[in-house]
Structure 1
Amino acid sequence: MRKIKAYLLAVSLITLIVSCSTKTVWDVRDYGAVADKTTINTKSIQKAVDECNKAGGGTVLITEGTYLSGTILLKSNVNLKVAEGATLLGSINPNDYPAVEPFIDATGQYRGQCFIGAIDVENASITGKGTINGQGEMFTPANIKKTVKKLGITLDKPDLTGLISKTNKYVSSTIRTSNRPFLVRMVRSKNVKLVDIHLRQPAAWTLHFLECNNFEVNGISIHSHANRNNDAIDIDSSTNGVIRNATIDSGDDAICFKSTSPKPTTDIEVYDCKLKSHWGAIKFGTESMGDFKNITVRDCFVHDTKGGGIKILSADGANVDNILIENITMENVEMPIFIRLCERRLVYRNAERKPVGSINNVVIRNITAKVTDTVDLRMNPPTGFYFSGTPNHKLGKITIDNVKVDLPGGGTLEDAKIVVPENEIQYPEFTKLGVTPAYGLYARHIENLKTSNVSFTLRGKDERKEVVKINVN
């Protein structure tokens, strides 16, 4: 009898050990999460994440319904899976979003709050065919005031110690606490990825990689029109990344390479994406302290984009080098290609101010673009290519090959006489420089510009020249 009891006890212990060691899924409902669109589930979901991490990793599952929450911080070896039919919905209370690695951006706004965050982690991911929705429309100044009154709360005040640069001149002289959380923010993390997830309506940027190494984005969709400055994907001082099969509809930049620190953004590949934007579809800058190097964007469709199809900007000291953009089709865009080197030299994260940067070894090829009609343009009449360095800092080698641009025309004889201002330290945007005396290519201050098999077609009359070059070799 004793042998039988001992045997049964041993079997029970082995079964328990095996069952514990093979657990792979942590369902948030087991930790008290409720999908009633009312309960704030932050603590329950965070506990599931923490327990998953302590056990060595696995999947934290969100399924069947809509779960309201504040900031969730991912941990190493944790996959947050939002299953198809499930929604992770952001709380409307600004105090539910603590800052993750806060900073002051170029406009003077305090940034860093986020819905889903990760800081100094490895092997974290967000997957599933469900939805993460930030309810960004509730974070306008007017709606925040309504929320504060309705909830009877006082807004938490951030600690700005060490964040405001002594040498900086922000776009706005006033430092503002906007209380607008990013949707997903990965900070100093390695081997992180997002797959298949639907990201919706952030209050600020949608997906931000800051100083990350080895990241992957595959098959996600983004819709971001709930607030202002709501970029879709920002690759910020990050390296070794792949973005593919993304479908983006954004009120601000769609895919944007940034450097809000002196560290570079390098070795990135973007392909097979469908991009729509109200400002820039494929953009480098404007925050640009660290260098941009070894970046390829290919095989993408850009449509209904008001601010620019391809924009390469160095404003704050970035050396932009070895950039390849190829096989891009653009429909209904405003500015097909804009390249600008200027001398703004803003500072972020209290770093040392950098000297003026450079743009060199840029290849843009196999591009077809149709510019939208003049009634919808911010700069009217438009120009196909707008390239400009400054008198003291020229663009380097720029190669444009096999490009066709269809334009609406509309330029007058008076437009043909325009002298474009230099505006060396102004925000680097084509609307700031204004209409050019060329409908096809306006280029100035370039050391080495090579164009081949480039054609411009007009749908209407244009009295300007096709090409104007000033101080160009």
Structure 2
Amino acid sequence: MESFSTIVVVLASILLIGAESSLAASHPNLEYGPGRLQALNVGEIQDRLVCRVSDFGARGDGIVYDTSAVQSTIDYCAERGGGVVHVPPGTYLTGTIYLKSNITLWVDEGATILGGSNQADFPAQSSRWYTILAEDAENVELTGGGIVAGQGLKFVVEFKEEKNIMVSWNVTGDCVGDECRPRLVGFINCKNVHVWNVFLEEPAYWCLHIVNSDIVSIHNVSIYGDFNSPNNDGIDIESSNNTMIENCHIDTGDDAICPKTEDGPLYNLTVTNCWIRTKSSAVKLGSGSQYDFRNLHFEHLTIVDSHRGLGIQLRDKGNVNNVTYANIKMSTRYYHPSWWGLAEPIYISACNRTPDTAVGSVTYVRYINITIISENGIFLSGLEKSFLKGMEFKNVNMTLVRSTSFPGGYHDYRPGCQGMVAHRMSGLFMEYVEDIWMQKVRVQWKGADVLDWGLPFDFTPSTVHDMHLVDFENTYVD
């Protein structure tokens, strides 16, 4: 291609993942299991080929599709050993773009990759509906300060105050209901992934999806989804290992950070220094839980006006072990009951997805230095055949105060299980819990409208074993 000009510049592309760098430095007493995260490099500082999408005919006017031009640029760069694919300021309307190994997709500040809103813009297989997709790739990077947007509002069939009704592209039958919409950015079976300094906006479905991948760094990423649209999750980490998420801003309707284990185990996940708002769960393990979760650490999070705070939804045979939440400030509130959740700041629910399926175990979960303002209390629910074991609460301060007009008075076991069950509110509800420790826990009830909620603790003695209280305080204030 004689008309194509290239330049070589010095660029640094270094990925450092260090779980201990933030968590262990602040809390040297926190325990870590084997296989802890280590500092790993995507690549050394090196000269890199820069390929401009404009040299391959990309117009960037937001009207004409630039899919072919952007893909040709990526392919050209990849065939020469990789490099930087540069997307200058402009709006680039595309169908699915496929990243390759050793490619940095640099979306400039002022540039937007705009995902198409027609089913023909995406491949036939619904599991590959993404605006940007890397599959079976190594050393891939998305950065540059620009925007990747999904035009999510074009997928709304009916705008509703409580929850939007979304379109379904269920033509072939390989997806159902709300699953039949395109995700925004995906990495499947990848290694050494770096997503940083980029804005991900208005996804039609999940926003950033990491699947069966290893060594992933996500930092300085801002995610904005429509607050009334269901299933527009922020970051879904699925069956992937050695992942660091830090310094991210997530404001979306559905779950903000959602680890899952549908195809394999998930271990060594660290999330730190993030700001979150959602109508669902700020952090939710599950409900997809076919395999184990192990060594997950969440620290220095700010959670604002969310429907749930820190959740674990175990519905399948996988086990949850060694999870730490530390130095977290959160406020949770009621939203319309069509959204799962009832303002629980901390929520663990282990139960069978269906009567014929097995459910795993939840063991050794720690909550350290947690500050809560909430319309509801903590909810811990296991099963007679699957007790929650080894729960620790240390330096937890919870203020219970009403801030909305939603009535409450229920427990929410969804998905599956018992569904919605009428029950009074309480400071801490427990069933089928064993070996729970509470040290320096403060529960404060604020305002006359919380006086009829119930007791600080709500449990049947036969379902709770070995509860230890050290310096527990319960107070009522006007």
Report the TM-score when normalising by structure 1: 0.78
2:342 matches 1:339: no
* Match among 448, 460, 469 for residue 435 of structure 2: 448
Report the TM-score when normalising by structure 2: 0.77
- Residue 472 of structure 1: aligned partner: 464
Aligned-pair CA distance for 1:359 = 0.2
More displaced stretch, 462-471 vs 91-100: 91-100
Distance 1:235 1:156, change over 3 A: closer
| Aligned 1:347-426 pairs, distance under 5 A | 355-372=358-375, 382=376, 384-408=377-401
* Whole-angstrom distance in 2 between the partners of 1:191 and 1:338: 32
Distance 1:52 1:472, change over 3 A: same
Distance 1:197 1:190, change over 3 A: same
| Aligned 1:175-190 pairs, distance under 5 A | 175-176=176-177, 179-190=180-191
Aligned-pair CA distance for 1:188 = 0.6
Aligned-pair CA distance for 1:50 = 0.6
| Cα offsets for 1:127-186 (capped at 9, x unmatched) | 01111111011123579xxxxxxxxxxx894474xx9xxxxxxxxxxx448641100011
Distance 1:126 1:18, change over 3 A: closer
Distance 1:19 1:80, change over 3 A: closer
| Cα offsets for 1:410-460 (capped at 9, x unmatched) | 9xxxx9xx9979x7xx62699x34454452111110121111111111112
8 Å CA contact 2:146–2:198 kept in 1: the answer is: yes
* Whole-angstrom distance in 1 between the partners of 2:239 and 2:292: 8
2:460 matches 1:459: no
* Whole-angstrom distance in 2 between the partners of 1:215 and 1:365: 26
Aligned-pair CA distance for 1:340 = 1.0
Amino acid at match of 2:415: Y
More displaced stretch, 296-305 vs 451-460: 451-460
8 Å CA contact 2:235–2:256 kept in 1: the answer is: yes
- Residue 314 of structure 2: aligned partner: 314
What CA RMSD, in Å, does the superposition of the two structures yield over aligned residues? 2.9
Provide the secondary structure at the position in 1 that maps to 2:64.
coil
- Residue 257 of structure 1: aligned partner: 259
* Whole-angstrom distance in 2 between the partners of 1:72 and 1:33: 13
8 Å CA contact 2:352–2:416 kept in 1: the answer is: no
8 Å CA contact 2:374–2:402 kept in 1: the answer is: no
| Cα offsets for 1:268-315 (capped at 9, x unmatched) | 10000001111000111111111111000001111011x201101211
8 Å CA contact 2:78–2:103 kept in 1: the answer is: yes
Amino acid at match of 1:313: Q
Distance 1:336 1:178, change over 3 A: closer
* Whole-angstrom distance in 1 between the partners of 2:73 and 2:151: 23
* Whole-angstrom distance in 1 between the partners of 2:357 and 2:352: 10
Distance 1:117 1:99, change over 3 A: farther
Distance 1:28 1:158, change over 3 A: farther
- Residue 282 of structure 1: aligned partner: 283
* Match among 215, 239, 246 for residue 237 of structure 1: 239
**Structure 2: stretches of 5+ with no match in the other structure:** 10-45, 160-168, 334-342, 466-478
Distance 1:183 1:268, change over 3 A: same
| Aligned 1:11-410 pairs, distance under 5 A | 24-98=49-123, 102=126, 111-141=127-157, 157-158=171-172, 160=174, 175-176=176-177, 179-225=180-226, 227-261=229-263, 263-305=264-306, 307-333=307-333, 334-344=343-353, 355-372=358-375, 382=376, 384-408=377-401
* Whole-angstrom distance in 1 between the partners of 2:438 and 2:170: 55
* Whole-angstrom distance in 2 between the partners of 1:88 and 1:420: 42
Amino acid at match of 2:391: I
Amino acid at match of 1:124: V
8 Å CA contact 1:113–1:179 kept in 2: the answer is: no
* Whole-angstrom distance in 2 between the partners of 1:176 and 1:64: 36
Amino acid at match of 1:343: N
Amino acid at match of 1:51: Y
- Residue 149 of structure 1: aligned partner: none
- Pair member with larger Rg: 1
Distance 1:93 1:445, change over 3 A: same
Provide the secondary structure at the position in 1 that maps to 2:427.
strand
8 Å CA contact 2:187–2:209 kept in 1: the answer is: yes
Distance 1:314 1:332, change over 3 A: closer
* Whole-angstrom distance in 2 between the partners of 1:434 and 1:419: 5
More displaced stretch, 117-126 vs 354-363: 354-363
| Cα offsets for 1:165-222 (capped at 9, x unmatched) | xxxxxxxxxx448641100011010001101100000100000001110000010000
* Match among 406, 412, 427 for residue 415 of structure 2: 427
Aligned-pair CA distance for 1:387 = 0.4
Aligned length: 398
Distance 1:369 1:25, change over 3 A: same
Amino acid at match of 2:262: T
8 Å CA contact 1:409–1:439 kept in 2: the answer is: no
Which structure's residues are more often strand, by fraction? 2
- Residue 4 of structure 1: aligned partner: none
Distance 1:201 1:182, change over 3 A: same
Amino acid at match of 2:101: S
Distance 1:205 1:420, change over 3 A: closer
| Cα offsets for 1:15-61 (capped at 9, x unmatched) | x9997996611100000100111110111100101111111111101
* Whole-angstrom distance in 2 between the partners of 1:260 and 1:402: 34
Provide the secondary structure at the position in 1 that maps to 2:72.
helix
